[in-house]
Amino acid sequence: MRPMATTESGLPFEAVYDASALDGFDPQQRLGEPGQYPFTRGVYPNMYTGRPWTMRQYAGFGTAKESNERYRELVAHGTGGLSVAFDLPTQMGFDSDAPVAHGEVGKVGVAIDSLDDMQVLFDGLPLDEVSTSMTINAPASTLLLLYQLTAESQGIAASKLTGTIQNDVLKEYIARGTYIYPPAESLRLISDIFAYCHQEIPRWNTISISGYHMAEAGATPVQEIAFTLANAIEYVRAAQAAGLAVDDFAPRLSFFFVARTTLLEEVAKFRAARRIWARVMKEDFGAQNPKSMMLRFHTQTAGVQLTAQQPEVNLVRVALQGLGAVLGGTQSLHTNSYDEAIALPTAKAARLALRTQQVLAYETDVTKTVDPFAGSYVVESLTDDIEAAALDLMRQVEDKGGAVAAIEEGFQKNEIERSAYATALEIDSGERIVVGQNRFALDVEDPYEPLRVDPRIEANQSERLAALRADRDNDEVQRRLEDVRTAARGTDNVLYPLREALRVRATVGEVSDALRDVWGVYVPRDAF
């Protein structure tokens, strides 16, 4: 009998699952115990029965001062972890007064040009108590060092800092585009970050290997975990090639996935990803520390599934997506605001998004047991199917020479674009229903007043930069920038001279330019 439907990944989705779906199923071999290899049932024995996941809210817009006010409000309302959004110039390593930054300053995140801005951003926040995640990739080393220097100025030791930098440049070449340097140099910088944090900031998660952005670009759940884990393998190899022992850096690796509204497949996806990664680390890389085999991940609900039409319906979508992430065993969660398809979230919408997590944690019973779906016919079958399909796709990447070689060939990008196009066709034809958009639409939408970024931000940031350059010791800045270039030409860890340049108030753009001078910039093959 042919299946009645397929999953988001195109796998068979049977109308009825029964015991035959689990023929030969050995729970001990396939699942293990929670908190034990292969971690299918979760990375910790107690999961949420002891305490809930970390509730993060992704925020950042305009100036550091405005974002600081939003962070203080979120912390006051119960956020346990901050998640910082940076504007595009900062993500690309440009100062706010650079010509290329015109029109983008403060628009999709906060503008950070210097140590002065970072100190304003985290003013009055307990950095030794709050876990901070920074969505930054190509200049991740720079923003991490600014965070460390900011904590130092508050009298907080680096050893007390906890949080994550995304630092996942390979997915930028695949799906997002905020890369700076060529792949080899980017991997060298990432390895330097691993080594630096092992010595200087030992509790910091040095990378958040992201499938989220690939999913937002159109990747299926299978593509999301396959390409993410293939990138992770490349990072592990690069670190080992740089002389780092796997158990010295692998326990600090973390991941970042999306949670869609297709709840059952998402739960299975998370469980399959944990099992694959545990086996890769143990069998392929010889990891001995169980923490090296744990796939710990942050989840964000699916922004791409939010609609500008009837935005209040997004509250329902986000609640379901958040539930899927929790049932799948996430370590931290960001729930999108219902108005994000229109503009930056208003304060009320951001608060409601946080309240969604709090309802899941404190008013439902999903935190009372570990891995609620364990043994479910449908979830176990889907977990097996997703694992097999993801491993097959990972083998295709390996056959092309690994993630970097496949990226340079355009393999992952092409596969994701095909999936995105197929989804768009299904929505346009009505085969895929999007409530409020192609079905159950309103003739007239309710009025909505979005949050607007002050257009004077760019001029204000330029004025701050001019004042900074007039106030600092520019000769010392130039000496420190030359130290950065020297390290980049050689094999020394680049983060140490980077830190000292930032300490004397070199800007994000200046230190990024120093590395550009030596390493150049990446130009994708399809740009020609």
Domain boundaries of the chain, sorted by first residue: 5-60+166-429
Label residue 496 exposed, middle or buried (CB < 10 Å: 0-12, 13-18, 19+).
middle
- What pLDDT was estimated at residue 347? 85
- What pLDDT was estimated at residue 73? 87
- What pLDDT was estimated at residue 25? 63
pLDDT tens digits, one per residue of 15-58? 998 888 777 766 666 678 999 999 999 999 999 999 999 998 77
- What pLDDT was estimated at residue 528? 47
Label residue 204 exposed, middle or buried (CB < 10 Å: 0-12, 13-18, 19+).
buried
Q: How far apart are CA 487 and CA 241, in angstroms?
A: 18
pLDDT < 70: residue spans in the chain: 1-4, 25-30, 526-528
pLDDT tens digits, one per residue of 288-312? 999 999 999 999 999 999 999 999 9
Two structure tokens written together for 37: 């290899």
Q: How far apart are CA 309 and CA 303, in angstroms?
A: 14
Two structure tokens written together for 74: 């979120």
Q: How far apart are CA 382 and CA 374, in angstroms?
A: 12
Residue 242, CB-side half-sphere exposure with 13 Å CA sphere:
26
Q: For the chain, percent helix, then strand, then coil, each to nearest 5?
A: 50, 10, 40
Report yes or no: 257 and 220 within 8 Å, Cβ to Cβ: no
> What is the residue type of 270?
F
The CATH number of the domain covering residues in 5-60+166-429: 3.20.20.240
DSSP class of 289? S
Q: How far apart are CA 32 and CA 9, in angstroms?
A: 26
> Helix count (H) and strand count (E) of the chain?
21, 11
Q: How far apart are CA 135 and CA 145, in angstroms?
A: 14
- What pLDDT was estimated at residue 163? 94
DSSP class of 10? S
pLDDT tens digits, one per residue of 314-352? 999 999 999 999 999 999 999 999 999 998 888 899 899
Nearest C-alpha neighbor of 332 from the set 75, 48, 76, 84: 48
Residue 258's beta-bridge partner residues? 300
